[in-house]
Structure formats: C-alpha cells, structure tokens
C-alpha cells in the first residue's frame, strides 16, 4: 500500500469517530429493502474478527470487533460462489452487524448495522454502483466515506467478504 493511501484511510478512520454518534440517531422505521435482514442468509458460520485486510483501523469496531454478514436472495449465489467472478446483480443488499468485542457479541442485544446496496451495474465498476447506509434506521445514499475504502475490494465489486476470501476472514 502506498503511503498516500495509508494516509487517506487514516483520515477516513478519524472521520468515523465523529460520525459514529450520528449512526445511532436514526429513528423511525427501517428501509423495507433490509428491514427483515436477520431472516436472510448469514455468510459466515463463525463471527469475523481481527483486521485481515490491514486497512480496517477503527472501522466496523476495528480488530477487536465481532461481525456477522447477511445477504439477501438477489446476491446470495454470487457471494457464496467459491471462485467468483464477483459481480453482483442490481438489488443485492449486504448487511453487516458489528459488536464492540467478543463479550458484547456473546451478550447479544442490538448490534451496529451497516448496509450496502447494489443500485447500478456499470462496466467497469464505479463507486456509484453501490449505495450505503450507516444504520438500521438510516437512509441509503452514495457515500464517499464508505466507498473510498471499499474500493480496495475493486476486483470483487467493492465487497470484501465472499466465498473465496471468507476462509481468510475466519482465520484468527
């Protein structure tokens, strides 16, 4: 990774500290596109923890966070494919639940939620192909903060965890 990219991601991680508070201010009903995500397919059989990409910083609760990822039926076959190529159909919604640490995960309760939605299928892939939501009851929109880091997964359509990479994410 170039120093420039490292710096950029460091800045993003800092920005998240100031934005983290807002994520919990979302009130009202969840977007129907992900309201019932807990009934979807969970991609990982064990929780994901650690920082396997070395770019996470304090994002998604950082390396001590515990995370589960859910996918709707539209993106299910693509994300679970062990080989790819990973190019998701429009309508794919991926939800990540995040807990601060193992103890919080085991206690259960309300996790932090982040969501990505495939809204366009450009060729080549564009950041604007996905919208992002920072909370269960927050709205989805283009979000440079999220997409800038997820561009590191450019070769798999901005999505990090898939059938090919999952074993690495589960390795402690």
The SS3 call for residue 16 is helix
**Shortest reach from residue 76's CB to ligand HEC, in Å:** 13
**Shortest reach from residue 123's CB to ligand HEC, in Å:** 20
Give the one residue of 34, 68, 69, 157 binding ligand HEC; rule: CB under 6 A: 69
Give the one residue of 37, 55, 78, 92 binding ligand HEC; rule: CB under 6 A: 55
Question: Binding mask 79-108 vs ligand HEC (x if CB under 6 A, - otherwise)?
Answer: ---------------xxx------------
Q: Which two tokens stand for residue 118?
A: 């495939």
CA angle 106, 19, 115 (to 5 degrees): 60
**Shortest reach from residue 140's CB to ligand HEC, in Å:** 9
Give the one residue of 47, 115, 138, 157 binding ligand HEC; rule: CB under 6 A: 115
Contacts of 71 (CB under 8 A, 6+ apart): 40, 41, 43, 79, 80, 92, 93, 94, 95
Give yes or no for residue 12 binding ligand HEC (CB under 6 A).
Answer: yes
d(CA 8, CA 120): 26
């Amino acid at each position: 990774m170039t120093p420039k990219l490292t710096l950029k991601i460091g800045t993003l991680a800092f920005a998240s500290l100031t934005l983290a508070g807002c994520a919990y201010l979302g009130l009202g009903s969840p977007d129907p596109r992900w309201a019932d995500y807990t009934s979807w397919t969970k991609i990982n059989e064990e929780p994901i923890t650690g920082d396997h990409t070395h770019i996470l910083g304090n994002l998604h609760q950082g390396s001590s966070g515990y995370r589960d990822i859910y996918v709707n039926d539209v993106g299910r076959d693509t994300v679970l494919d062990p080989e790819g190529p990973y190019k998701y159909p429009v309508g794919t919604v991926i939800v990540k639940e995040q807990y601060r640490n193992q103890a919080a995960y085991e206690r259960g309760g309300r996790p932090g939620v982040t969501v990505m939605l495939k809204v366009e299928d450009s060729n080549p892939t564009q950041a604007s192909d996905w919208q992002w939501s920072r909370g269960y009851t927050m709205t989805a929109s283009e979000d440079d903060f999220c997409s800038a880091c997820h561009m590191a997964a450019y070769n798999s359509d901005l999505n990090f965890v898939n059938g090919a990479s999952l074993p690495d994410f589960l390795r402690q």
